Amino acid sequence: QALAGAIESEMELPPHACAYCGIHSPSAVVKCLSCNKWFCSGRGNTSSSHIINHLVRARHKEVCLHPSSSLGETTLECYNCGTRNVFLLGFIPAKSDTVVVLLCRQPCAAMPSSKDMNWDTSRWEPLIQDRSFLPWLVSEPSEAEQMRARHLQPQVIAKLEEVWKENPTAAVEDLEKGNGVDDDPQPVLLRYDDAYQYQNVFGPLVKIEADYDRKLKESQSQDGLVVRWHFGLNSKHLANFILPKLELGDVKLAVGDEMRLRYVGEVRPHWEGVGFVIKIPNNMSDEVTIELRKGANDKGVPTDFTHPFSADYVWKATSFDRMQLAMKSFAVDEMSVSGYIYHRLLGHDVAAAPLKTPLPRRFSVPGLPELNMSQVLAVKSVLQKPLSLIQGPPGTGKTVTSATIVYHLAKLSGSQVLVCAPSNVAVDQLTEKIHRSGLKVVRLTAKSREDVESQVSFLSLHEQVRINNTNVELVKLRQLKDELGELSLQDEKKFKHLTRAAEKEILTNADVICCTCVGAGDPRLAKFKFRTVLIDESTQAAEPECMIPLVLGCKQLVLVGDHQQLGPVIMNKRAARAGLHQSLFERLVILGCAPIRLNVQYRMHPCLSEFPSNMFYEGSLQNGVTVQERLRRNVDFPWPVADSPMMFWTNLGNEEISASGTSYLNRTEAAACEKIISKFFKAGVSPSQIGIITPYEGQRSYIVSSMQTNGSHKKELYKDIEVASVDAFQGREKDYIVLSCVRSNDHQGIGFLNDPRRLNVALTRAKYGVVILGNPKVLSKHPLWHHLLLHYKERNCLVEGPLSNLQISFIQFSRPRQSYK
């Protein structure tokens, strides 16, 4: 390879050679008009042609063809308006002649052409398809030419583009010289010398993630919004609008997030107001709703105007600050955790000092289901150990086990237990179960979420303060505040003081306090000590997040989770690569702390648990339900094998970019999806029993709308079906699951589906049946999917053809690519 490189650099390449790989046949290169460099339409080892690689990475958008190409020196532009942005350009044909013309998608091709016009805008097709210019516009370099070209890895391309931003004339050779500068952060370790080293490693990673999160969220500012106004029952203004950027899926807008809304028109004075998000897009509507905070300029809210408005995300550093603070107190405060926990967290070998907690006579708890053997075993082994891990595969009763453990810990240790999970949903679920056991529970929520309804609202701290009327003065002040909307400065001070006192009293008297991991850093808990901590879903939290509840004096820690299901979401790739995506649970497992596994699953029909058990749990998962209990004879559905409610329905339709251009969709799979759902409806299955999982937002909204237009049953029924990403279904179950894979292409991967843990979650949500829609040819290239397809094939559950006449499919699988770990 070194030799080839030497020969290549000796020859002078023409100026129009591809700046990446050197290919220079005139019909295969185009010039970028922003930087005057040339790029070819070969793909090298990447999923996109070099020119598209460059345009996307450099954010350049205009190109020109080579003078000796068949079209001559042509700048690609809209015939009508002259725009040169190739991401907007496509072509349309004349209705009755073999003439085509380039036109931009918006606005020129967006106008329908009437009958008497010469051109047919309805047949607009983009110039960029499958991440390359159409081959008749820029041809693909010959195989021989590609073999001879310089082979660049995608990372090198990325690096080169970075360097060009500073030094536009740099070449690949310069890059190789200057290499060795490594700006990647220090990766996480398995063991740490001390808590300072721990902080020195994780601190920068949290900072990188925080900076990235901020940039990402703040870039979500959006102009040109149209607002629908409402007046809430709590006499606050509600603004409803659609945020198109959400479809990118980059930013997960969450209930409780803060946004600033601004009126930017000319018709009245400018205005701005801040509010919390109270609704995000769902099946009912794609709108976001924010509730404006009450404030001095309430009268000035421009509710008579619908546009133009702008919205900005108001970024909060809170969660990151709390992580940093937790790591700091771990390092400097000797009382933050016990000596034993301290050393175990750092990966040191220390002898376990068994706790003197007495064991209960009965392990099952009033108000909660009876425990099975493996659950009893888990509870028993946890109570006397200062540190334990419980692994709960899907459907194995993790929450009940956790609630039972919390009950015993609270009763036996006689001190308060702090119970956390990374997400609010998980905390609410566990809170509800613990409440059923009869313990005194308080659910602490962030102030921004106090108005969010949940099944445990009555257990929340603010609600308990509200219904507690022992303090007459506080009751009076609240009434006054509710009536007037605000209090005098002095009364407000008094009101705050009394509220704080009431909160403290309720917290002090609780047996158990439940909150998110980040919530454990709430100032209202700052003075409390929690020697016993349980973290549920701990495998979904980044390590520094888990530290927040620990540094309040932890002596006994129970981590519950499943490292075979989805891990924490880390947005910044550098931080993720450095190991921030690894949970504390996982690191402890690697350090040799064996988790106690709950191994009886009560969710899935045994045929559905077989593959996940073998693939992800060494075949250890037993079935706590029988085939008979999970068969619905009265549900008439064409399962290929009557007693095995599973099928992989071959769909060879193409994926495409969604209408907004920001995501993927697959029409044939969406059509198939509607047919399956209609069949289920006909068989008497209700919408709430069905879940549709699809990894792409584009497909989600396409499925929702195509069920609306094509479904043969009542529209409301289809509306009530939950269509969401794998991530949204983690921790939950449905009777029937339809999985639409979407991706079906030759050059790009299968995106999110490539993650084994995501596949595990997708396959383990259903109790009574699973239908997978996908392209076996494409999916079988991936080793894991290859296994899955073989599994379905061997059980005669791989089918094709119309739903009314499904046939066993004999489609040839592709050879799986080697997997690298």
How many beta carbons lie within 10 A of that of residue 139, not counting itself? 18
Q: Is 182 in the site for another protein (CB under 8 A)?
A: no
How many beta carbons lie within 10 A of that of residue 226, not counting itself? 12
Nearest CA to 256 out of 498, 478, 445 is that of 445
Q: Which of 14, 36, 125, 504 binds another protein (CB under 8 A)?
A: 125
Q: Is 81 in the site for another protein (CB under 8 A)?
A: yes
Distance, in Å, from the CA atom of 451 to the CA atom of 808, rounded to the nearest integer, reads 52
Q: Which of 24, 37, 50, 105 binds another protein (CB under 8 A)?
A: 105
Q: With respect to another protein, which residue has the nearer C-beta, 96 or 805?
A: 96
Question: How many residues bind another protein, per CB under 8 A?
Answer: 84
Q: With respect to another protein, which residue has the nearer C-beta, 65 or 417?
A: 65
Nearest CA to 140 out of 29, 17, 22, 20 is that of 29
Q: With respect to Zn ion, which residue has the nearer C-beta, 42 or 185?
A: 42
Q: Is 137 in the site for another protein (CB under 8 A)?
A: yes
Output the smallest distance, CB 615 to Zn ion, in A.
39
Q: Is 320 in the site for another protein (CB under 8 A)?
A: no
User: Which of Zn ion, another protein, none has residue 40 at its interface (CB below 5 to 8 Å by kind)?
Assistant: Zn ion
Q: Is 98 in the site for another protein (CB under 8 A)?
A: yes
Output the smallest distance, CB 83 to another protein, in A.
8
Q: Is 102 in the site for another protein (CB under 8 A)?
A: yes
List alpha helices for 264-372, DSSP H.
318-332, 339-345
Q: Is 79 in the site for another protein (CB under 8 A)?
A: yes
The residues near 62 (Cβ < 8 Å, ≥ 6 apart) are 32, 33, 34, 75, 76, 84, 85, 86
Distance, in Å, from the CA atom of 153 to the CA atom of 146, rounded to the nearest integer, reads 14
Q: With respect to another protein, which residue has the nearer C-beta, 14 or 107?
A: 107
Distance, in Å, from the CA atom of 301 to the CA atom of 672, rounded to the nearest integer, reads 47
Q: With respect to another protein, which residue has the nearer C-beta, 109 or 635?
A: 109
Q: Is 99 in the site for another protein (CB under 8 A)?
A: yes
Distance, in Å, from the CA atom of 390 to the CA atom of 388, rounded to the nearest integer, reads 7
Q: Is 332 in the site for another protein (CB under 8 A)?
A: no
Mutual orientation of helices 543-550 and 195-218 as an angle, nearest 10°? 120
Q: Is 226 in the site for another protein (CB under 8 A)?
A: no
Please state, in angstroms and as integers, the Cα–Cα distance from residue 426 to each residue in 44, 173, 402, 801, following that order: 45, 52, 12, 41
Q: Which of 15, 36, 111, 683 binds another protein (CB under 8 A)?
A: 111
User: Which of another protein, Zn ion, none has residue 662 at its interface (CB below 5 to 8 Å by kind)?
Assistant: another protein
Distance, in Å, from the CA atom of 502 to the CA atom of 512, rounded to the nearest integer, reads 17
Please state, in angstroms and as integers, the Cα–Cα distance from residue 453 to each residue in 288, 493, 542, 547, following that order: 17, 28, 27, 28
Output the smallest distance, CB 11 to Zn ion, in A.
16
Q: Which residues, numbered 191-220, are part of the site for another protein (CB under 8 A)? A: none
Q: With respect to another protein, which residue has the nearer C-beta, 19 or 418?
A: 19
Q: Enumerate binding residues for Zn ion (CB under 5 A).
A: 18, 20-21, 23, 32, 34-35, 40, 42, 50, 58, 60, 78, 80-81, 104, 108
Nearest CA to 674 out of 702, 632, 644 is that of 702
The residues near 459 (Cβ < 8 Å, ≥ 6 apart) are 431, 435, 441, 442, 443, 514
Q: Which of 4, 117, 284, 335 binds another protein (CB under 8 A)?
A: 117
Output the smallest distance, CB 114 to Zn ion, in A.
18
Q: Which residues, numbered 2-61, are part of the site for another protein (CB under 8 A)? A: 45-48, 52-53, 55-57, 59, 61
Distance, in Å, from the CA atom of 779 to the CA atom of 813, rounded to the nearest integer, reads 9
Q: Are the beta carbons of 295 and 516 closer than 8 angstroms?
A: no
The stretch near another protein (CB under 8 A) out of 614-622, 638-646, 661-669, 718-726 is 661-669
User: Which of another protein, Zn ion, none has residue 807 at its interface (CB below 5 to 8 Å by kind)?
Assistant: none
Q: Which of 207, 245, 411, 667 binds another protein (CB under 8 A)?
A: 245
Q: With respect to another protein, which residue has the nearer C-beta, 737 or 762?
A: 762
Token pair, residue 634, equals 């009265």
- Kindly report whether the peptide bond that precedes residue 107 is cis, defined as omega within 30 degrees of 0: yes
Nearest CA to 244 out of 697, 657, 569 is that of 697
Q: Which residues, numbered 488-547, are part of the site for another protein (CB under 8 A)? A: none
Q: DSSP string of 743-782?
A: ---SSS--GGGG-HHHHHHHHTSEEEEEEEEE-HHHHTTS
Q: Is 752 in the site for another protein (CB under 8 A)?
A: yes
Q: Are the beta carbons of 567 and 587 closer than 8 angstroms?
A: no
User: Which of Zn ion, another protein, none has residue 50 at its interface (CB below 5 to 8 Å by kind)?
Assistant: Zn ion
User: Which of another protein, Zn ion, none has residue 20 at its interface (CB below 5 to 8 Å by kind)?
Assistant: Zn ion
Q: With respect to another protein, which residue has the nearer C-beta, 470 or 818?
A: 818
User: Which of another protein, Zn ion, none has residue 52 at its interface (CB below 5 to 8 Å by kind)?
Assistant: another protein
